[in-house]
Protein backbone atom coordinates (compact mmCIF):
# COMPACT_ATOMS: atom_id res chain seq x y z
CA UNK A 1 0.00 0.00 0.00
CA UNK A 2 2.81 2.39 0.90
CA UNK A 3 4.54 1.64 -2.40
CA UNK A 4 1.31 2.30 -4.33
CA UNK A 5 0.73 5.60 -2.52
CA UNK A 6 4.31 6.67 -3.13
CA UNK A 7 3.99 5.84 -6.84
CA UNK A 8 0.80 7.92 -7.14
CA UNK A 9 2.47 10.84 -5.37
CA UNK A 10 5.45 10.70 -7.72
CA UNK A 11 3.16 10.63 -10.78
CA UNK A 12 1.22 13.64 -9.55
CA UNK A 13 4.43 15.52 -8.87
CA UNK A 14 5.69 14.77 -12.39
CA UNK A 15 2.46 16.00 -13.96
CA UNK A 16 2.56 19.15 -11.83
CA UNK A 17 6.15 19.83 -12.84
CA UNK A 18 5.23 19.27 -16.49
CA UNK A 19 2.40 21.81 -16.31
CA UNK A 20 4.64 24.27 -14.47
CA UNK A 21 7.39 23.96 -17.08
CA UNK A 22 4.83 24.48 -19.88
CA UNK A 23 3.46 27.62 -18.22
CA UNK A 24 6.97 28.90 -17.59
CA UNK A 25 7.84 28.35 -21.25
CA UNK A 26 5.08 30.69 -22.41
CA UNK A 27 6.26 34.18 -23.28
CA UNK A 28 3.49 36.10 -21.58
CA UNK A 29 4.92 39.47 -22.57
CA UNK A 30 4.92 38.54 -26.25
CA UNK A 31 1.41 37.06 -26.01
CA UNK A 32 0.07 40.16 -24.30
CA UNK A 33 1.80 42.36 -26.85
CA UNK A 34 0.31 40.35 -29.74
CA UNK A 35 -3.17 40.50 -28.19
CA UNK A 36 -2.99 44.26 -27.68
CA UNK A 37 -1.68 44.72 -31.24
CA UNK A 38 -4.53 42.59 -32.60
CA UNK A 39 -7.14 44.58 -30.68
CA UNK A 40 -5.70 47.87 -31.92
CA UNK A 41 -5.62 46.61 -35.53
CA UNK A 42 -9.24 45.48 -35.34
CA UNK A 43 -10.24 48.79 -33.79
CA UNK A 44 -8.25 50.71 -36.40
CA UNK A 45 -9.88 48.91 -39.35
CA UNK A 46 -13.34 49.28 -37.80
CA UNK A 47 -12.96 53.04 -37.37
CA UNK A 48 -11.28 53.44 -40.78
CA UNK A 49 -14.00 51.65 -42.75
CA UNK A 50 -16.75 53.32 -40.72
CA UNK A 51 -15.32 56.71 -41.72
CA UNK A 52 -14.95 55.60 -45.35
CA UNK A 53 -18.57 54.44 -45.42
CA UNK A 54 -19.90 57.59 -43.77
CA UNK A 55 -17.84 60.05 -45.84
CA UNK A 56 -18.48 58.13 -49.06
CA UNK A 57 -22.25 58.18 -48.56
CA UNK A 58 -22.15 61.90 -47.84
CA UNK A 59 -20.15 62.54 -51.01
CA UNK A 60 -22.62 60.46 -53.04
CA UNK A 61 -25.59 62.32 -51.56
CA UNK A 62 -24.14 65.74 -52.32
CA UNK A 63 -23.08 64.63 -55.80
CA UNK A 64 -26.58 63.45 -56.71
CA UNK A 65 -28.13 66.61 -55.27
CA UNK A 66 -25.85 68.83 -57.35
CA UNK A 67 -26.37 66.67 -60.45
CA UNK A 68 -30.15 66.91 -60.09
CA UNK A 69 -30.01 70.69 -59.68
CA UNK A 70 -27.67 71.05 -62.66
CA UNK A 71 -29.59 68.79 -65.05
CA UNK A 72 -33.09 69.55 -63.70
CA UNK A 73 -33.94 65.85 -63.57
CA UNK A 74 -36.94 64.25 -61.89
CA UNK A 75 -36.50 63.77 -58.17
CA UNK A 76 -37.95 60.25 -58.24
CA UNK A 77 -35.39 58.95 -60.69
CA UNK A 78 -32.48 60.62 -58.90
CA UNK A 79 -33.72 59.20 -55.58
CA UNK A 80 -33.87 55.70 -57.05
CA UNK A 81 -30.39 55.84 -58.57
CA UNK A 82 -28.96 57.41 -55.39
CA UNK A 83 -30.37 54.58 -53.27
CA UNK A 84 -28.90 51.94 -55.56
CA UNK A 85 -25.50 53.65 -55.67
CA UNK A 86 -25.44 54.05 -51.88
CA UNK A 87 -26.31 50.40 -51.32
CA UNK A 88 -23.68 49.24 -53.80
CA UNK A 89 -21.07 51.43 -52.08
CA UNK A 90 -22.02 50.03 -48.65
CA UNK A 91 -21.72 46.44 -49.90
CA UNK A 92 -18.31 47.19 -51.40
CA UNK A 93 -17.02 48.80 -48.19
CA UNK A 94 -18.43 45.92 -46.15
CA UNK A 95 -16.65 43.37 -48.34
CA UNK A 96 -13.24 45.02 -47.93
CA UNK A 97 -13.86 45.50 -44.20
CA UNK A 98 -14.48 41.79 -43.61
CA UNK A 99 -11.53 40.96 -45.85
CA UNK A 100 -9.28 43.15 -43.68
CA UNK A 101 -10.69 41.67 -40.45
CA UNK A 102 -10.21 38.07 -41.59
CA UNK A 103 -6.68 38.82 -42.78
CA UNK A 104 -5.85 40.40 -39.42
CA UNK A 105 -7.16 37.32 -37.60
CA UNK A 106 -4.97 35.10 -39.77
CA UNK A 107 -7.80 33.46 -41.67
CA UNK A 108 -6.69 32.17 -45.12
CA UNK A 109 -8.86 34.51 -47.16
CA UNK A 110 -7.53 33.26 -50.49
CA UNK A 111 -8.66 29.71 -49.74
CA UNK A 112 -12.08 30.96 -48.63
CA UNK A 113 -12.50 33.00 -51.81
CA UNK A 114 -11.60 29.98 -53.95
CA UNK A 115 -14.16 27.87 -52.09
CA UNK A 116 -16.72 30.64 -52.38
CA UNK A 117 -16.14 30.72 -56.14
CA UNK A 118 -17.16 27.07 -56.46
CA UNK A 119 -20.17 27.68 -54.21
CA UNK A 120 -21.13 30.76 -56.22
CA UNK A 121 -21.06 28.72 -59.42
CA UNK A 122 -23.41 26.16 -57.92
CA UNK A 123 -25.75 28.85 -56.63
CA UNK A 124 -25.60 30.76 -59.90
CA UNK A 125 -26.94 27.79 -61.84
CA UNK A 126 -30.12 27.98 -59.77
CA UNK A 127 -30.34 31.76 -59.64
CA UNK A 128 -30.85 32.65 -63.29
CA UNK A 129 -34.17 34.31 -62.48
CA UNK A 130 -32.46 36.57 -59.97
CA UNK A 131 -29.82 37.55 -62.52
CA UNK A 132 -32.53 38.32 -65.08
CA UNK A 133 -34.28 40.51 -62.51
CA UNK A 134 -31.10 42.47 -61.80
CA UNK A 135 -30.15 42.93 -65.46
CA UNK A 136 -33.67 44.04 -66.42
CA UNK A 137 -33.88 46.35 -63.41
CA UNK A 138 -30.55 47.92 -64.31
CA UNK A 139 -31.71 48.83 -67.81
CA UNK A 140 -35.10 50.06 -66.55
CA UNK A 141 -33.30 52.49 -64.26
CA UNK A 142 -30.57 53.38 -66.75
CA UNK A 143 -33.06 54.19 -69.51
CA UNK A 144 -35.40 56.04 -67.15
CA UNK A 145 -38.43 53.97 -68.12
CA UNK A 146 -39.93 54.39 -64.65
CA UNK A 147 -39.59 56.91 -61.84
CA UNK A 148 -41.04 56.87 -58.36
CA UNK A 149 -44.42 58.60 -58.50
CA UNK A 150 -45.15 57.78 -62.16
CA UNK A 151 -48.59 56.53 -63.15
CA UNK A 152 -47.98 53.39 -65.19
CA UNK A 153 -49.37 50.13 -66.48
CA UNK A 154 -47.07 47.11 -66.35
CA UNK A 155 -48.57 44.19 -68.23
CA UNK A 156 -52.05 43.98 -66.65
CA UNK A 157 -51.29 46.00 -63.49
CA UNK A 158 -51.99 49.74 -63.28
CA UNK A 159 -51.07 52.15 -60.51
CA UNK A 160 -48.42 54.48 -59.12
CA UNK A 161 -44.76 53.50 -58.86
CA UNK A 162 -43.62 53.52 -55.23
CA UNK A 163 -40.25 51.82 -55.64
CA UNK A 164 -37.91 50.81 -58.46
CA UNK A 165 -35.20 48.35 -57.47
CA UNK A 166 -32.73 46.10 -59.21
CA UNK A 167 -34.81 43.03 -58.40
CA UNK A 168 -38.43 44.17 -58.06
CA UNK A 169 -40.67 47.11 -58.93
CA UNK A 170 -43.51 48.03 -56.56
CA UNK A 171 -46.77 49.41 -57.97
CA UNK A 172 -49.57 50.78 -55.77
CA UNK A 173 -53.00 50.23 -57.34
CA UNK A 174 -55.89 52.67 -57.01
CA UNK A 175 -57.46 50.52 -54.28
CA UNK A 176 -54.25 50.56 -52.23
CA UNK A 177 -52.96 47.13 -53.25
CA UNK A 178 -49.16 46.92 -53.29
CA UNK A 179 -47.97 44.87 -56.28
CA UNK A 180 -44.43 43.48 -56.10
CA UNK A 181 -43.40 42.69 -59.67
CA UNK A 182 -40.15 40.83 -60.48
CA UNK A 183 -38.35 42.89 -63.10
CA UNK A 184 -37.97 39.91 -65.44
CA UNK A 185 -41.78 39.82 -65.78
CA UNK A 186 -41.96 43.41 -67.06
CA UNK A 187 -42.31 43.18 -70.83
CA UNK A 188 -44.28 46.32 -71.75
CA UNK A 189 -44.14 49.61 -69.83
CA UNK A 190 -46.97 52.10 -70.41
CA UNK A 191 -45.98 55.33 -68.65
CA UNK A 192 -48.76 57.91 -68.33
CA UNK A 193 -46.59 60.49 -66.58
CA UNK A 194 -44.28 61.56 -69.37
CA UNK A 195 -46.57 63.42 -71.79
CA UNK A 196 -49.84 65.32 -71.80
CA UNK A 197 -52.83 63.00 -71.63
CA UNK A 198 -56.02 62.85 -73.68
CA UNK A 199 -59.30 63.53 -71.87
CA UNK A 200 -62.20 61.96 -73.77
CA UNK A 201 -65.84 62.65 -72.86
CA UNK A 202 -68.90 60.99 -74.38
CA UNK A 203 -72.29 62.65 -73.83
CA UNK A 204 -75.30 60.38 -74.49
CA UNK A 205 -77.78 62.13 -76.81
CA UNK A 206 -80.98 61.37 -78.68
CA UNK A 207 -80.76 60.77 -82.45
CA UNK A 208 -83.00 63.78 -83.11
CA UNK A 209 -81.21 66.17 -80.76
CA UNK A 210 -80.90 69.82 -81.78
CA UNK A 211 -77.18 69.84 -82.58
CA UNK A 212 -76.89 73.64 -82.72
CA UNK A 213 -78.49 74.05 -79.29
CA UNK A 214 -76.37 71.22 -77.90
CA UNK A 215 -73.20 72.82 -79.24
CA UNK A 216 -74.11 76.21 -77.77
CA UNK A 217 -74.63 74.66 -74.31
CA UNK A 218 -71.31 72.79 -74.46
CA UNK A 219 -69.43 75.90 -75.61
CA UNK A 220 -70.90 77.91 -72.74
CA UNK A 221 -69.76 75.28 -70.23
CA UNK A 222 -66.28 75.34 -71.75
CA UNK A 223 -66.18 79.15 -71.57
CA UNK A 224 -67.03 79.01 -67.87
CA UNK A 225 -64.81 76.09 -66.80
CA UNK A 226 -61.66 76.09 -68.94
CA UNK A 227 -60.17 79.31 -67.42
CA UNK A 228 -60.46 77.72 -63.96
CA UNK A 229 -58.13 74.82 -64.79
CA UNK A 230 -54.56 75.69 -65.66
CA UNK A 231 -53.81 72.00 -66.17
CA UNK A 232 -55.70 72.01 -69.49
CA UNK A 233 -53.09 72.09 -72.24
CA UNK A 234 -55.42 72.15 -75.25
CA UNK A 235 -58.96 73.53 -75.19
CA UNK A 236 -61.86 71.09 -75.67
CA UNK A 237 -62.37 69.99 -79.25
CA UNK A 238 -65.99 69.24 -80.24
CA UNK A 239 -65.86 66.17 -82.49
CA UNK A 240 -69.60 65.84 -83.00
CA UNK A 241 -72.08 62.99 -82.80
CA UNK A 242 -70.90 59.40 -83.18
CA UNK A 243 -72.77 56.08 -83.24
CA UNK A 244 -72.10 53.62 -80.43
CA UNK A 245 -71.84 49.84 -80.94
CA UNK A 246 -75.13 49.29 -79.07
CA UNK A 247 -77.08 51.48 -81.50
CA UNK A 248 -77.18 54.61 -79.31
CA UNK A 249 -75.53 57.95 -80.05
CA UNK A 250 -73.11 60.16 -78.14
CA UNK A 251 -71.51 63.56 -78.60
CA UNK A 252 -67.69 63.28 -78.47
CA UNK A 253 -65.48 65.90 -76.81
CA UNK A 254 -61.70 65.74 -76.38
CA UNK A 255 -59.06 67.88 -74.69
CA UNK A 256 -55.47 67.48 -73.54
CA UNK A 257 -54.34 67.95 -69.95
CA UNK A 258 -51.26 67.50 -67.81
CA UNK A 259 -50.63 63.91 -66.82
CA UNK A 260 -52.39 62.88 -63.65
CA UNK A 261 -55.24 65.37 -64.13
CA UNK A 262 -57.23 63.57 -66.82
CA UNK A 263 -59.63 61.68 -64.55
CA UNK A 264 -60.44 64.73 -62.43
CA UNK A 265 -61.13 66.87 -65.51
CA UNK A 266 -63.19 64.13 -67.13
CA UNK A 267 -65.46 63.84 -64.08
CA UNK A 268 -65.75 67.61 -63.63
CA UNK A 269 -66.59 68.44 -67.24
CA UNK A 270 -68.95 65.48 -67.71
CA UNK A 271 -70.95 66.51 -64.65
CA UNK A 272 -71.06 70.14 -65.81
CA UNK A 273 -72.17 69.14 -69.32
CA UNK A 274 -74.98 66.90 -68.05
CA UNK A 275 -76.27 69.56 -65.63
CA UNK A 276 -76.21 72.24 -68.33
CA UNK A 277 -78.01 70.03 -70.85
CA UNK A 278 -80.71 69.19 -68.32
CA UNK A 279 -81.23 72.86 -67.47
CA UNK A 280 -81.43 73.68 -71.20
CA UNK A 281 -84.23 71.14 -71.65
CA UNK A 282 -82.18 68.73 -73.75
CA UNK A 283 -83.20 65.15 -73.04
CA UNK A 284 -80.45 62.81 -71.93
CA UNK A 285 -81.32 59.21 -72.88
CA UNK A 286 -81.19 56.60 -70.16
CA UNK A 287 -79.29 53.36 -70.77
CA UNK A 288 -81.46 50.47 -71.86
CA UNK A 289 -81.66 47.48 -69.54
CA UNK A 290 -81.25 44.05 -71.06
CA UNK A 291 -83.40 41.70 -68.97
CA UNK A 292 -82.69 38.58 -71.01
C-alpha to C-alpha distance for 229 and 261, rounded to whole angstroms: 10
Q: Are residues 201 and 257 in the same domain?
A: yes
Put simply, whether the predicted model's pTM sits higher than 0.85 gets the answer: no
Residues 160 and 102 occupy one common structural domain: no
Q: Is residue 17 part of a domain?
A: no
Residue 86 belongs to a domain? yes
Rounded to whole angstroms, how far apart are CA atoms 199 and 253? Answer: 8
| 12 lies in some domain | no
Domain assignment present for 257: yes
If asked whether residues 86 and 156 sit together in one domain, one would say no
Better-predicted residue by pLDDT, 179 or 35? 179
Name the residue range of residue 161's domain. 146-191
pLDDT digits (tens, 9 = 90+) for 86-98: 877 888 888 888 8
Cα 108 to Cα 116: distance, rounded to the nearest angstrom: 12
pLDDT digits (tens, 9 = 90+) for 113-171: 665 555 565 555 556 677 777 778 777 877 778 878 888 888 888 888 888 877 888 99
Same domain, residue pair 233 and 167? no
Q: CA 243 from chain center: how many Å?
A: 44
Q: Looking at residue 214, which CATH number applies to its domain?
A: 3.30.70.100
Mean pLDDT of 45-64: 88
Confirm whether 139 is domain-assigned: no
170 and 216 fall within a common domain: no
Give residue 55's pLDDT.
92
Q: Which of 156-160, 190-194, 198-202 has the lowest mean pLDDT?
A: 190-194
One domain, residues 214 and 187: no
pLDDT in tens, 25-48: 666 666 677 778 888 888 988 999
Q: How far apart are CA 228 and CA 100, in angstroms?
A: 65
Residue 7's contacts (CB-CB under 8 Å, 6 or more residues apart) are: none
Q: How far apart are CA 136 and CA 182, in angstroms?
A: 9
pLDDT on residue 179: 92
51-60, 75-84, 138-147: the lowest-pLDDT one: 75-84
Q: Is 141 a member of any domain? A: no
Q: Does a structural domain hold residue 160? A: yes
What pLDDT score does 50 carry?
A: 92
227 in the same domain as 211: yes
pLDDT for 3 equals 47
- Residue 140 lies inside a defined structural domain of this protein: no
Range from 55-64, 70-79, 215-224 carrying the lowest mean pLDDT: 70-79
Higher pLDDT, 241 or 131: 241
- Number of independent structural domains in the chain: 3
Q: What is the CATH number of the domain that holds 166?
A: 2.30.30.60
pLDDT of residue 257 exceeding 50, the answer is yes
Between CA 218 and CA 31 the distance in angstroms is 94
Residues 168 and 254 placed together within one structural domain of the fold = no
Amino acid sequence: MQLLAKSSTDTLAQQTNLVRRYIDSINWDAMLSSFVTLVFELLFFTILFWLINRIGKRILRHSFTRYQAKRALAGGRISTIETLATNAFSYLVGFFYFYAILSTLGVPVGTLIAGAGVLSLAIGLGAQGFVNDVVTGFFIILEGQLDVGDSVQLNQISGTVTSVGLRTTIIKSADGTMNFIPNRNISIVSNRSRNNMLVSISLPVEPNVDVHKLTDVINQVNTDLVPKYQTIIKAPDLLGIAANPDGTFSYQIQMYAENGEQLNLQRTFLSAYLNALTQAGITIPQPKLNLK
